[in-house]
A and B are shown apart, each in its own frame.
Chain A
Amino acid sequence: AQKVTQAQTEISVVEKEDVTLDCVYETRDTTYYLFWYKQPPSGELVFLIRRNSFDEQNEISGRYSWNFQKSTSSFNFTITASQVVDSAVYFCALSEAMDSNYQLIWGAGTKLIIKP
Protein backbone atom coordinates (compact mmCIF):
# COMPACT_ATOMS: atom_id res chain seq x y z
CA ALA A 1 0.00 0.00 0.00
CA GLN A 2 1.09 3.56 -0.56
CA LYS A 3 1.97 5.68 2.41
CA VAL A 4 3.93 8.78 3.32
CA THR A 5 5.49 9.12 6.75
CA GLN A 6 6.73 12.35 8.25
CA ALA A 7 7.92 11.16 11.61
CA GLN A 8 8.75 14.63 12.93
CA THR A 9 5.55 16.20 14.19
CA GLU A 10 7.21 19.43 15.23
CA ILE A 11 10.71 20.86 14.96
CA SER A 12 11.93 24.00 16.67
CA VAL A 13 15.27 25.60 15.84
CA VAL A 14 16.92 28.94 16.27
CA GLU A 15 17.22 31.21 13.27
CA LYS A 16 20.23 30.56 11.02
CA GLU A 17 20.41 26.92 11.96
CA ASP A 18 20.10 24.29 9.26
CA VAL A 19 17.14 21.96 9.55
CA THR A 20 16.15 18.77 7.75
CA LEU A 21 12.60 17.54 7.43
CA ASP A 22 12.29 13.81 6.86
CA CYS A 23 9.94 12.09 4.47
CA VAL A 24 9.73 8.34 3.92
CA TYR A 25 7.34 6.86 1.40
CA GLU A 26 5.99 3.46 0.46
CA THR A 27 4.84 2.47 -2.98
CA ARG A 28 4.79 -0.59 -5.19
CA ASP A 29 4.87 1.45 -8.37
CA THR A 30 8.09 2.08 -10.23
CA THR A 31 6.79 5.36 -11.58
CA TYR A 32 5.63 7.95 -9.13
CA TYR A 33 5.96 11.59 -8.14
CA LEU A 34 7.01 13.14 -4.86
CA PHE A 35 6.09 16.60 -3.70
CA TRP A 36 6.78 19.06 -0.93
CA TYR A 37 4.28 21.76 0.01
CA LYS A 38 4.53 24.55 2.55
CA GLN A 39 1.53 25.75 4.55
CA PRO A 40 2.25 29.14 6.13
CA PRO A 41 -0.03 30.56 8.85
CA SER A 42 -2.26 32.09 6.17
CA GLY A 43 -3.43 28.57 5.32
CA GLU A 44 -2.81 28.03 1.64
CA LEU A 45 -0.63 25.21 0.43
CA VAL A 46 2.38 26.48 -1.49
CA PHE A 47 4.08 24.19 -3.97
CA LEU A 48 7.81 23.78 -3.39
CA ILE A 49 8.95 20.90 -5.57
CA ARG A 50 7.81 17.95 -7.65
CA ARG A 51 10.21 15.12 -8.42
CA ASN A 52 9.55 12.04 -10.53
CA SER A 53 10.90 8.64 -9.62
CA PHE A 54 13.30 8.52 -12.55
CA ASP A 55 15.22 11.55 -11.42
CA GLU A 56 17.33 10.92 -8.35
CA GLN A 57 19.40 14.02 -8.70
CA ASN A 58 19.36 16.23 -5.67
CA GLU A 59 17.80 19.62 -6.12
CA ILE A 60 18.89 22.95 -4.72
CA SER A 61 16.85 26.12 -4.84
CA GLY A 62 18.36 28.94 -2.85
CA ARG A 63 18.36 27.91 0.80
CA TYR A 64 16.22 24.87 0.05
CA SER A 65 17.56 21.50 -0.99
CA TRP A 66 16.06 18.07 -1.44
CA ASN A 67 17.71 14.70 -1.16
CA PHE A 68 15.90 11.92 -3.02
CA GLN A 69 17.15 8.41 -2.22
CA LYS A 70 15.23 5.55 -3.79
CA SER A 71 17.31 3.00 -1.91
CA THR A 72 15.85 4.20 1.37
CA SER A 73 12.53 5.49 -0.08
CA SER A 74 13.23 8.92 1.32
CA PHE A 75 12.78 12.43 0.02
CA ASN A 76 14.20 14.72 2.69
CA PHE A 77 14.04 18.49 2.67
CA THR A 78 16.75 20.72 4.11
CA ILE A 79 16.56 24.42 4.83
CA THR A 80 19.95 26.04 5.19
CA ALA A 81 20.39 29.12 7.36
CA SER A 82 16.75 29.05 8.43
CA GLN A 83 14.75 32.25 8.80
CA VAL A 84 11.70 33.13 10.84
CA VAL A 85 9.66 33.31 7.61
CA ASP A 86 10.33 29.61 7.09
CA SER A 87 8.03 28.86 10.01
CA ALA A 88 5.18 26.80 8.59
CA VAL A 89 3.80 23.31 8.30
CA TYR A 90 5.55 21.33 5.60
CA PHE A 91 3.88 18.43 3.83
CA CYS A 92 5.47 15.67 1.80
CA ALA A 93 3.21 13.88 -0.69
CA LEU A 94 3.28 10.99 -3.15
CA SER A 95 1.39 10.40 -6.37
CA GLU A 96 1.29 7.11 -8.22
CA ALA A 97 -1.27 8.07 -10.85
CA MET A 98 0.14 8.58 -14.30
CA ASP A 99 -2.70 10.51 -15.83
CA SER A 100 -3.55 12.63 -12.88
CA ASN A 101 -0.62 12.99 -10.60
CA TYR A 102 -2.54 15.04 -8.11
CA GLN A 103 -4.24 12.09 -6.49
CA LEU A 104 -1.80 12.87 -3.76
CA ILE A 105 -1.11 10.75 -0.73
CA TRP A 106 -0.05 13.11 1.98
CA GLY A 107 2.14 12.84 5.02
CA ALA A 108 0.86 14.18 8.31
CA GLY A 109 3.02 17.28 8.03
CA THR A 110 5.88 18.67 10.09
CA LYS A 111 5.39 21.91 11.93
CA LEU A 112 8.58 23.93 11.73
CA ILE A 113 9.15 26.73 14.21
CA ILE A 114 12.05 29.08 13.64
CA LYS A 115 12.84 31.16 16.69
CA PRO A 116 14.51 34.55 16.28
Chain B
Amino acid sequence: EAGVTQFPSHSVIEKGQTVTLRCDPISGHDNLYWYRRVMGKEIKFLLHFVKESKQDESGMPNNRFLAERTGGTYSTLKVQPAELEDSGVYFCASSQFTGFRSTEAFFGQGTRLTVV
Protein backbone atom coordinates (compact mmCIF):
# COMPACT_ATOMS: atom_id res chain seq x y z
CA GLU B 1 0.00 0.00 0.00
CA ALA B 2 1.38 3.41 -0.96
CA GLY B 3 2.05 5.79 1.88
CA VAL B 4 1.57 9.53 1.98
CA THR B 5 3.54 11.10 -0.84
CA GLN B 6 4.56 14.69 -1.20
CA PHE B 7 5.82 16.58 -4.22
CA PRO B 8 8.31 18.05 -4.70
CA SER B 9 10.74 16.81 -2.11
CA HIS B 10 12.67 20.05 -2.34
CA SER B 11 11.88 23.44 -3.86
CA VAL B 12 14.04 26.53 -4.11
CA ILE B 13 12.28 29.71 -5.20
CA GLU B 14 12.91 33.42 -5.09
CA LYS B 15 11.11 35.74 -2.77
CA GLY B 16 7.88 36.91 -4.36
CA GLN B 17 7.40 33.82 -6.47
CA THR B 18 4.62 31.29 -6.13
CA VAL B 19 5.08 27.69 -5.09
CA THR B 20 2.55 24.88 -4.93
CA LEU B 21 3.13 21.85 -2.76
CA ARG B 22 1.20 18.69 -3.32
CA CYS B 23 0.18 15.88 -0.99
CA ASP B 24 -1.32 12.55 -1.94
CA PRO B 25 -2.80 10.88 1.13
CA ILE B 26 -3.25 7.19 1.66
CA SER B 27 -6.20 5.98 -0.36
CA GLY B 28 -9.39 5.99 1.69
CA HIS B 29 -8.14 8.43 4.28
CA ASP B 30 -10.69 11.19 4.67
CA ASN B 31 -8.50 13.25 6.97
CA LEU B 32 -5.57 15.20 5.65
CA TYR B 33 -3.34 17.51 7.67
CA TRP B 34 -0.65 20.00 6.84
CA TYR B 35 2.17 20.94 9.20
CA ARG B 36 5.36 22.89 8.79
CA ARG B 37 8.64 23.21 10.56
CA VAL B 38 10.29 26.55 10.09
CA MET B 39 14.04 26.42 10.61
CA GLY B 40 14.99 26.31 14.26
CA LYS B 41 11.42 26.07 15.50
CA GLU B 42 8.91 23.41 16.41
CA ILE B 43 6.61 21.70 13.97
CA LYS B 44 3.34 23.64 13.75
CA PHE B 45 -0.12 22.51 12.70
CA LEU B 46 -1.48 24.39 9.69
CA LEU B 47 -4.83 22.90 8.80
CA HIS B 48 -7.04 19.85 8.65
CA PHE B 49 -9.27 18.64 5.82
CA VAL B 50 -12.09 16.19 6.16
CA LYS B 51 -12.61 15.03 2.62
CA GLU B 52 -12.75 18.26 0.62
CA SER B 53 -13.83 20.48 3.53
CA LYS B 54 -11.55 22.53 5.73
CA GLN B 55 -12.27 21.32 9.25
CA ASP B 56 -9.75 23.55 10.94
CA GLU B 57 -7.44 26.09 9.38
CA SER B 58 -6.51 27.87 12.58
CA GLY B 59 -2.82 27.27 12.03
CA MET B 60 -2.55 28.94 8.63
CA PRO B 61 -0.11 31.81 9.13
CA ASN B 62 -1.63 34.37 6.78
CA ASN B 63 -3.56 34.84 3.56
CA ARG B 64 -0.52 34.14 1.43
CA PHE B 65 -1.21 30.49 2.09
CA LEU B 66 -4.04 28.71 0.29
CA ALA B 67 -4.84 25.04 0.76
CA GLU B 68 -7.24 23.08 -1.38
CA ARG B 69 -8.40 19.51 -1.60
CA THR B 70 -10.54 19.19 -4.65
CA GLY B 71 -12.60 16.04 -4.75
CA GLY B 72 -11.34 14.98 -1.37
CA THR B 73 -8.28 13.25 -2.77
CA TYR B 74 -4.94 14.99 -3.07
CA SER B 75 -4.31 18.39 -1.54
CA THR B 76 -2.27 21.38 -2.59
CA LEU B 77 -0.76 24.12 -0.50
CA LYS B 78 0.05 27.26 -2.43
CA VAL B 79 2.24 30.03 -1.12
CA GLN B 80 1.82 33.28 -3.02
CA PRO B 81 3.91 35.37 -2.82
CA ALA B 82 6.58 33.47 -0.94
CA GLU B 83 8.59 35.26 1.73
CA LEU B 84 11.93 34.36 3.26
CA GLU B 85 10.30 33.30 6.55
CA ASP B 86 8.27 30.66 4.70
CA SER B 87 11.39 28.53 4.33
CA GLY B 88 11.11 25.24 6.15
CA VAL B 89 9.81 21.70 5.81
CA TYR B 90 6.14 21.20 5.03
CA PHE B 91 4.67 17.90 6.16
CA CYS B 92 1.43 16.31 5.12
CA ALA B 93 -0.32 13.53 7.01
CA SER B 94 -3.48 11.51 6.58
CA SER B 95 -5.63 9.37 8.81
CA GLN B 96 -8.74 7.30 8.38
CA PHE B 97 -10.72 8.60 11.32
CA THR B 98 -10.65 11.47 13.80
CA GLY B 99 -11.85 11.86 17.34
CA PHE B 100 -12.07 8.89 19.62
CA ARG B 101 -11.95 6.51 16.72
CA SER B 102 -8.82 8.17 15.51
CA THR B 103 -6.10 5.98 14.23
CA GLU B 104 -2.54 7.01 13.81
CA ALA B 105 -1.76 9.61 11.22
CA PHE B 106 0.72 8.68 8.53
CA PHE B 107 3.16 11.34 7.45
CA GLY B 108 4.84 12.00 4.16
CA GLN B 109 8.55 12.67 3.84
CA GLY B 110 7.98 16.40 3.70
CA THR B 111 8.76 19.12 1.19
CA ARG B 112 11.75 21.27 1.99
CA LEU B 113 11.00 24.80 0.80
CA THR B 114 13.81 27.30 0.52
CA VAL B 115 12.95 30.90 -0.31
CA VAL B 116 15.95 32.98 -1.36
Q: Count how many chain B residues have C-beta atoms less than 8 Å from C-beta atoms of the other chain.
A: 31
Residues on the A chain within 8 Å of B59, using CB? 103
Specify the chain A residue showing the minimal Cβ separation from B112.
A43
Given A91-B43, A107-B42, A99-B99 contact (CB < 8 Å): yes
A-B contact pairs, 24 of them (CB 8 A): A4-B42, A43-B89, A44-B3, A44-B109, A45-B91, A45-B107, A45-B110, A47-B104, A50-B102, A91-B43, A99-B55, A99-B98, A100-B31, A100-B98, A102-B31, A102-B48, A102-B98, A103-B45, A103-B48, A103-B58, A104-B45, A105-B45, A106-B42, A107-B42
Residues on the A chain within 8 Å of B99, using CB? 98-101
Interface SS, A side: loop
- How distant is B102 from chain A, measured CB to nearest CB, in Å? 6
Interface bits B84-106 vs A (CB < 8 Å: 1, else 0): 00000101010100111010111
Specify the chain B residue showing the minimal Cβ separation from A91.
B43
Residues on the B chain within 8 Å of A104, using CB? 35, 43, 45
Q: How far is the CA of A100 from the CA of B98 in the complex (A)?
A: 5
Q: Which of B41-56 contact A (CB under 8 A)?
A: 41-45, 48, 55-56
- How distant is A108 from chain B, measured CB to nearest CB, in Å? 5
